[in-house]
Amino acid sequence: MNNIPKLPLGNWIESLESWLENHFTPLFDFIRLIIGSIVDFLHHVLLFSPSILMILIITALAWFLGKWKVAAFALIGLLLIDNLGYWEHAMETLAIVLTASLLSIIIGVPTGILCARSSFLQGIITPLLDLMQTMPAFVYLLPAVSFFSLGVVPGVIASIIFAVPPTIRLTNLGIRQVPSELVEAADAFGSTPNQKLFKLQLPMALPTMMAGINQTIMLSLSMVVISSMIGAQGLGADVYRAVTQTKTGIGFEAGISIVVLAILLDRMSNHIVKKNKR
Amino acid sequence: MSIIEAKQLTKIFGSHPEQAMQFLKQGWTKERILKETRMTVGVNQASFSIEAGQIFVIMGLSGSGKSTLIRLLNRLIEPTSGQLLFEGRDIVQMSAKELRQFRRKKMGMVFQKFALFPHRTVLQNVEYGLEIQGIEKQARKEMAEQALQLVGLGGWENSYPDQLSGGMQQRVGLARGLANDPDILLMDEAFSALDPLIRKDMQDELLQLQSTMKKTIIFITHDLDEALRIGDKIALMKDGVIVQIGTPDEILIKPATPYVEKFIEDVDLSKVLTAAHVMRKPATITLERGPRVALQLMKEQGVSSLYVTDKGKKLLGVITAELASAALKENLSIGDILIKEVPTIDSATPINELFEPMAASSIPLAVTDDTNRLLGIVIRGAVFAALAGNAIPEAGGAN
């Protein structure tokens, strides 16, 4: 074993990185612009009105989507965040999470559909998803920073990499789980592939897909602290600062705000699923 | 006129179907091909033609290839080789687009496990085939409602499939298959998942619908009773090969191979065979003859009674030997001694309904048609012989 020289894998990766950096800068700038604008836009929308009004709006939305319990939790939880003084940071975090989730869905659902149609593609994508979910996030934060520089954008990119797999996996699974007799019936009546997709496969896969999207939202929320290390603002940055300065109290306050957001996003997205079932 | 004609239609599942096809043409068996090439012969060079308006039943046990065969007909499974002519056009050669149009307009399909779309209402299910053709909403709603009326499900439009019983779900399946008014209806074990009583109801209903619709129906089943009940023609399959095609009578009376014989051995013949199968040529006499001639005829033919008809073969009554000799003594005519109260039966009466009238009557039963013409007589010995499964005479035969 000893006479086989070490593979220069690290060197290869680094040359790939600089090659990408040299040749694709306009593309990266474009992506940066798009993601940055979405985050900014959501950020402004969320902070447009006084906090109390936004709390009421979110509570009303929770009421509409789910039961009164979710609405009550939204009201109390958000008032707590406001009271502790983390409202603005919480909305920054929410803007980042929503952007990452939205882009994950836009990327994940079509990819999942393609995987469901082609077992060959599924064979390629599945190990890639395993890699994305298990590779420590810090490892791809570095190239993300060198492509997109510090700030919120590499944080969103890292969140997408970490959070998109469940949407892809469960979209694929949901479509593949549609009973073959039903697919046969759709074929027997002369459906085009798209008619089959939109009239049968997607409606039937929806509950499974929504479970995946719910996971995606949760996972992208779990990335906020890591993203703050490369300059993304929000609650994650508060936690990060508290940890580096060993301020347990602040860390706990920001932490509990993240938990409130997490529970709220989870329950609300779950209720979208239930509302979609007849 | 045949609406569908299959020529050497073959399906081989496996990695190199063309290669297995060569072996098949050289006469290799399904087992040998499986053993040496690890490929499965689904359907082996099936040739048949189906007449328009016929119920064509494909029957076989599981694994006989019948479900594969029906799927070759609308190419849910792609044939490996062979031709499939629909009104002269080869379905196998159709492009994806042509095939889609063909499926949309010409063929409906009903599935064993109903295959209704659970997220759609009954009406939306029935509308599906019309919707994907781009038929405008109001028109397709009317067509779907009409199809639902046809199967007796008017008023259930807005229910969901899981709110209906199995029998009702399959009615929805049938309505969906009929909604686009196809020429051909494929029914894949359509009633097999239903309870026996409901299955029988559905069979009756299908026959009744068919008497007005006159569709060409291709019906798959593993149930011989079902096949005999509804089939105009039956194709019996084994190991991917069609071993016999014929009317139910032909299958029962002249099984082509020992396999078919074994297949039909458990059939309750008393339900399947009818008076027409067991009746014999009657000994008759016309009214104008005298008792002496009657006695002579009875003696010649070794019978103790004679049916009396007019010259148009219309049944008038019956005379017995005793009555004839009494008439001879008292110089009466046949008309005077004629017994007019004769039990008659229709030629389509199944044998199991003959036992009672036979027990009650001392003379053979008379088989007549609607106009009271005497077609034949049924004697006990012929019935027992038929039930024993041997020596069934040709229908209406002379001996």
- In this prediction, residue A16 carries a pLDDT of 87
Question: Strands B241-246 and B284-286, how do they pair?
Answer: unpaired
On whether any CB of chain A is under 8 Å from the CB of B134, the answer is: no
Encode pLDDT of A249-259 as tens digits: 888 888 899 99
Q: Which residues of B touch A210 (CB under 8 A)?
A: none
Provide the 3-class DSSP secondary structure of residue B279: coil
Q: Are B67 and B189 in contact (CB under 8 A)?
A: yes
Question: Measured between alpha carbons, how far is A60 from A134 in angstroms, rounded to an integer?
Answer: 38
Provide the 3-class DSSP secondary structure of residue A105: helix
B210 and B279 in a single domain? The answer is: no
Q: Which residues of B touch A188 (CB under 8 A)?
A: 74, 76, 103, 107, 109, 186
User: Which ranges in chain B belong to alpha helices (H)?
Assistant: 17-25, 30-37, 66-73, 96-105, 122-131, 137-150, 166-178, 196-213, 224-230, 248-253, 258-264, 269-272, 275-278, 291-301, 321-330, 334-337, 355-360, 380-387
Number of domains in chain A: 1
- In this prediction, residue A208 carries a pLDDT of 93
B249 and B326 in a single domain? The answer is: no
- B256 half-sphere exposure, CB direction, 13 A CA radius: 14
Radius of gyration of chain B (CA): 27
Place of tokens 């003379």: B363
CB atoms B128 and A189 under 8 Å: yes
* Domain-ending residue, one of B248, B267, B286: B267
- In this prediction, residue B95 carries a pLDDT of 93
Residue B161 domain-assigned (yes or no): no
Residue B74 domain-assigned (yes or no): yes
Range of the domain at B285: 275-387
Residue A185 domain-assigned (yes or no): yes
CA distance B39 to chain A (A): 22
B215 and B283 in a single domain? The answer is: no
Q: Are A251 and A163 in contact (CB under 8 A)?
A: no
CA distance B193 to chain A (A): 14
On whether any CB of chain A is under 8 Å from the CB of B100, the answer is: yes
B285-290 long-range Cβ contacts below 8 angstroms, 24+ apart? B285/B309, B285/B319, B285/B334, B286/B310, B286/B311, B287/B316, B287/B334, B287/B335, B287/B338, B289/B334, B290/B333, B290/B334
Question: Measured between alpha carbons, how far is A60 from A56 in angstroms, rounded to an integer?
Answer: 6
Q: In what order do the strands lie in the sheet containing B365-368?
A: B344-346, B365-368, B374-378
CB pairs under 8 A between A and B: 57
Range of the domain at A55: 22-276
Confidence category of residue A123, pLDDT binned at 50, 70, 90: very high
On whether any CB of chain A is under 8 Å from the CB of B97, the answer is: no
CB atoms B109 and A189 under 8 Å: yes
B197 and B333 in a single domain? The answer is: no
Tokens, residue A266: 């989870």
CA distance B40 to chain A (A): 21
- In this prediction, residue B389 carries a pLDDT of 64
CB atoms B117 and A191 under 8 Å: no
Residue A118 domain-assigned (yes or no): yes
* Domain-ending residue, one of B223, B245, B267: B267
Residue of B nearest to A184 (CA): B76
Tokens, residue A39: 């985050």
Tokens, residue A150: 């510090």
pLDDT at residue A277 above 60?
no
Q: Are B303 and B324 in contact (CB under 8 A)?
A: no
CB atoms B133 and A182 under 8 Å: no
Enumerate residues 2 to 41 of chain B having a beta carbon within 8 A of any beta carbon in chain A.
Answer: none
The residue among A278 and B35 whose pLDDT is bigger is B35
CATH of the domain at A199: 1.10.3720.10
Encode pLDDT of A94-120 as tens digits: 999 999 999 999 999 999 999 999 999
Question: Measured between alpha carbons, how far is A153 from B308 in angstroms, rounded to an integer?
Answer: 106
Encode pLDDT of A180-210 as tens digits: 999 999 999 999 999 999 999 999 999 999 9
CB atoms B186 and A188 under 8 Å: yes
Number of domains in chain B: 2
Tokens, residue B23: 């072996």
On whether any CB of chain A is under 8 Å from the CB of B104, the answer is: yes
Q: Which of B117, B132, B176 sits opposite A190 (nearest CB)?
A: B132
CB atoms A189 and B180 under 8 Å: yes
- In this prediction, residue B396 carries a pLDDT of 39
B91 and B200 in a single domain? The answer is: yes
CATH of the domain at B246: 3.40.50.300
Q: Which residues of B touch A198 (CB under 8 A)?
A: none
- In this prediction, residue B171 carries a pLDDT of 92
B187 and B92 in a single domain? The answer is: yes
Q: Are B145 and B154 in contact (CB under 8 A)?
A: yes
Q: Which residues of B touch A199 (CB under 8 A)?
A: 128, 131-132
B85 and B23 in a single domain? The answer is: yes
Residue A34 domain-assigned (yes or no): yes
Residue B151 domain-assigned (yes or no): no
Q: Residue range A131-150: average pLDDT?
A: 85
Question: Measured between alpha carbons, how far is A188 from B74 in angstroms, rounded to an integer?
Answer: 7
Q: Which residues of A touch B104 (CB under 8 A)?
A: 189-190
User: Cα B220 vs. chain centroid, distance in angstroms?
Assistant: 12
CB atoms B100 and A192 under 8 Å: yes
* Domain-ending residue, one of B267, B287, B318: B267
Residue B347 domain-assigned (yes or no): yes
Residue A12 domain-assigned (yes or no): no
B289 and B383 in a single domain? The answer is: yes
CA distance A173 to chain B (A): 18
Residue B126 domain-assigned (yes or no): no
Residue B146 domain-assigned (yes or no): no
On whether any CB of chain A is under 8 Å from the CB of B133, the answer is: yes
Residue A16 domain-assigned (yes or no): no
Cα angle for residues A77, A81, A82 (degrees, 5° grid): 115
CATH of the domain at B363: 3.10.580.10
CB atoms A188 and B103 under 8 Å: yes
The structure's pTM equals: 0.77
B205 and B337 in a single domain? The answer is: no
User: Which ranges in A48-86 belong to alpha helices (H)?
Assistant: 51-65, 68-84
How would you write the pLDDT of chain B (399 residues) with one tens digit per residue? 789 999 999 999 988 898 888 888 888 888 888 988 889 999 999 999 999 999 999 998 888 899 999 999 999 999 999 999 998 889 999 999 999 999 999 999 999 999 999 999 999 999 999 999 999 999 999 999 999 998 888 889 999 999 999 889 999 999 999 998 999 999 999 998 888 888 888 999 899 989 888 899 999 999 888 898 899 999 999 989 999 999 988 888 888 888 888 888 777 777 777 888 788 888 888 888 888 888 888 888 888 888 888 888 888 888 888 888 888 888 888 888 888 888 888 888 888 888 888 888 888 888 888 888 888 888 888 888 877 765 454 443 333
Q: Which of B104, B116, B186 sits opposite A190 (nearest CB)?
A: B104
